[in-house]
Structure 1
Amino acid sequence: MASYASKQLLSIAIIFFCALGHLTSAQIVTLEVKEGNSTCIKAELVARFSVAYNTTNGTRTVTFPFPGNATVGNRSSCGGTELPPLLAASFGDGHALILRFSINGSQYRVESLALEYNLNDSSIFPNSSSPSLVTVKTDSAGILAQINTTYRCESSWPVSLGGGSGNASGNASVTFSNMRLQAYMLGSDLSRNETVCTADQSVTTVAPKTSPVTPAPVPTVPGNPERGNYNVTNNNGTICLMAYMGLQLNLTYPSSVQNKTVQEVVNLQPNQTKSSGSCEVSNATLQLRDDRTNLTFSFTLNTTSNKYHLSGISITATWPDMKEPFSASNGSLDYLRGTLGRSYLCSAEQTLVVDQTFAINTFHLQVQPFGVNGGQFEAAEECQLDEDNMLIPIIVGAALAGLVLIVLIAYLIGRKRSHAGYQTI
C-alpha cells in the first residue's frame, strides 16, 4: 500500500511541476502579414497586458497574457501608396493588438501601437460597470530599426497606452519581451542582421550583431548611473516636485571627429547637475542642466481623473564631438503614470524613447510632480515592470508551499492505508 501511495505522490508531483512550468514560462507568439505569397511583416514576441477598468465596487486592474492562438486579422496590410503597413492581431472575445509602421530613409519604426479590449468579456473583466470596446494607443512605442534588419529586444520593457476611446477612459500598458520583429521585408524569413534595442545593449558586454548598413556603431555603455535628488520649489520656498533617479542619456548625432553618425551613452552626474522648474495646477516641469546639456521633463495632471503622467521631454546638448548643437523633443509622450497624492516608483530599468535619435534610460526612479507635502514622497505606486518581476518569485514560493502540503497529505494517506492492512482478527 505504501508503494501505491508513493506512485500516487510521484504522479501528483509530476503534474504539479508541469503546471508550475506552465505558469512561469512565457509563450512566444508568432505573427505574419502576407500579400500573396510574400511576407511583409513578421513578429515573434511575448506580451502581457495590464488594464484598469471600472467595476461596481471601484477601479480594478487586471493583467493577462497575449495568447498563442492570436490571429492576424483582415485589417492587416502590407501597405500601399497611401496606406502604411499594419499588423492587427486579434485574440479572445473582441481584443486586438495593432502595430502601424512607417519608414524614414534607412530606418523603419512602429509609428503607433494600439490595444483594443472588450469590457464585455467577463472572463478577463469581471463585474465591469462600463461594458464597451475601448481603444488605447501610443505614438512612442520605441521600436526602431534599420531597413533590412530584424529588430531584436530580449529584455522586458513596458509601454504605457493612453487616450482611450469608448465609454470608458483607457488606462493600460503592455510589457514586451523576447521580441524579434521586421517590417518591409525582402523575403519570408527574418533577417540575420539585427538592430538591437538599447535595453539589451546595456545588459550585455558582447557586441550585438548589426546590419552592415547601420550608420551608428554599438556605443560603449557605462555602468549604472548614480541617483540624484532633483527638486523644484515654489515662489514661497516649498518643494512642489520631487525626483530621485539615475539617468542615462542615449544620443545619436553626426561626429565631427569621426565624420559619421555615432551613438553615445552617457550617465548624468548629479553633482554636476542643477535642477529648476515650475509647478502649476495641471502642469509641472523639471529642468536639469550641466555645462553641456539642458534636459526638461514636462508632467501633466488630468484634474478630472486625478492621474498624472510624463507628457514631454526635450533636450539640447553641445558635446565636444558634435558637428552642431543637438536638440530633440517630444510633447506627446505617455510615461510614468501615477495618481495625485502618490509618488511613482520604478526600481527596474526603463527606456523612455523620445525620438529616433534620443532616449533616456532611468534607474531606481521615484518621482512625484504634484501633491507634494512637507518635502517627502507620498506612498508609492509601483510600475508594472516591478510588479511583473515580483510575480515569478511569488508563484514559485506558493508552488513550493503547495508541493510540501501535497507531499505531507500523500504521506499521511499512505501511512493510514498501510496500518489498515494489519488490523487485529
Structure 2
Amino acid sequence: MTHFWLNEVVSVHTLFPGLFPDAKFANQVVTTYRLANHLNTSAFLSPRSYLCKKDELFPLDQYVEELPTNVTIHYIHVQPFKVRVGGKFAETEECPQDFLTTTTEPPYPVTTESPVIPVGHFVLQDDKGQTCLLANFGAMFRVEYDLTSQGMIRNAIYVLPANCSVSGFCGEEAVHVTLSFDTAFNLSASFSSDGKVFKLVSLSVGYVRSPDHFPDAMYPDTGDIEELTNLTLVTTDVGKSYLCKEAGVIKVGASVVLEVLELQIQPFDVKNGRFGEASECNNDIPTTNASYTVVPASSVLPTNPTTNMPTLPPPSGPTEPLQGNYTVHDAEGKVCLLADFGLQLRINYTRQNGKIATGVVNVPVNAEVSGTCSNTHSSLTLLFYDETFNLTISFAMSKNKAGSKTSHWTGLHLSFEEAPSIFPGTKRINDPRLISNTSLDLLTTSAGKSYKCNADVNTTITKDMAILVRLVHVQAFDVESGQFSASEECVQDSKGSVDKTAITVVGVILFIIALSIAVVGVVGKRKAQKMYVRLPSLLD
C-alpha cells in the first residue's frame, strides 16, 4: 500500500519596500524557502485525498539575512496522485487536528466559506443636513497579527458591513469621512480639492484585536491605527464621481491589506443627493509610487507559474436553465433554507476587438451547496464549474412600521473566472472577476410563508449582469420539518389568474346579454303582430 506526504515548500518573492518596509535587502529576489527533506506532516494512503480544516504552520528557512518566514495553510484539501477521471477527490482522510475536540463526524457536510464582500451605500451630510459625500463600495481587510505561540503569525480577515455608521465633516477644500462598525473598527478617508479636481490624500484603518476577529492573539483586546498618507489617488474633476468597478488592493501601514471593489465616490459638489457624471478609472486601477502598493486583485491571487488556469468545457445540456433543488442546514443539521429554481446568468464582457458581448451561464442543478441561517439573515452559496464560479444569494427579514415581518432577496455576490469557453473571444482570458449588489428587493413574502412564482423573473443586478430566475419556490426563514410552508404567489402569477377569471366572467355576461336581447326581440315581435288589425279595403 503506497503513501504520499508533503515533501517541500518553496516560495519566491521580491522584497519590495511597499510590502516589506525597511527591509535590509530591499528589492532583492528571495528565490527559495525550504525545510529539510520531509516536512512535519503525516503520510496518507494513496489513492486517497488529504483534508485538514485546521491551520497548519510551517516555519521556513531562507538564504538571506532576514528573519525566518512562516507559511500558514488555511483549510487544505489535496490529492496529488491517482486522481479519478472527472477531476473528483477520492475518499478523504482527515488530519488528526480536526478531531481534537470531537470523536464523531458531524451529521452533515461542513464547509469553510470565503467571506462575502457586501457593497454598501454610504452618505455623509454637512451641518445643514445636505448630502456632501456619496460612496458605494465593498471592502475586505486582511490584518497581520502575532499569535500566542511564539513566532507564529496569522491574518485576521473581515469585511466592511453595508450598515456602517457614517461620520465626518465637509469643507470647500477638504472632506473627511469615517465608517465605523463593531464598536472599535473603522475605515477613514480624507480628500482635498483645489476647486477644479479632487483627490484621495490619506487612508487609515482602526481595529481592536478582539477574540472574534483575532483568535489566539498574543495581545488580545489591544488596538492599533494603521495610516497611509501623501496619496494622490482617485483624482477626478469636481462635480463628477470617481468610478472603478474592478477590485483593487492597497497596503495600509505595516499590517493591513485593504481590498476594495465596485467603488463609486463623490466627496465634493454633490447635487440633489445623486452622483454626478462618472469618471471611470484608467485601466481600473491607477499606477502608484513605490511608497505604497495598489495592484489589480487578480495579481495577488495565489498562482502556480507551472500550472495553467483551468479551461471550462462549454456548458452542456439545454440552453434554458433547469430547475435545481437546493437545501441549507443550520448548525444543528436542520433544514433552514429551501430553494427550488432555475438560474441563468447573463454577464457582459469585453472581446479582444473591444466590443461588448454577453456570456450566458446556466447554474447546474448539481452545484455544490452551502450557506448560513439566522433569524434575520440567510444565504445560499452555489459552487460550480470546478469551483471557478461562486454565487451567493443573500436574504433578509425586515419589519415595517405596522410591525409585520417580510423576507426579501437582498443581495447577490458572484466571483468567477472569465473562461474562453463561456466568454468566447474574451480580452481577459481566465481573469478573476467580481460582481456584487447588496441593494436588491426581490421575492418579497410574509414571514412564515414561502415565495412561489411560475412566471420568469428577470432582474438587472449591475450594468454588467442580469439574471433569469425560473419556476422559483423559496423559503429562507422559518422552515418547519424541512418542508415549504404555505406559499404566496408572485404578482405576475396573480395577474394571470385574475385576467383568466375576468375573461370568463365577461364572456358569461355577454352571453346573458345576447340571450336577453334575443328573447326580448321575439316577444316584442309577437306583441306587434297582435296590434295590427286588417281594415276593409276602401274599394270594397
With the shorter chain as reference, the TM-score category is 0.3 to 0.5
Give TM-score, length-normalised by structure 2.
0.37
Name the larger-Rg structure: 2
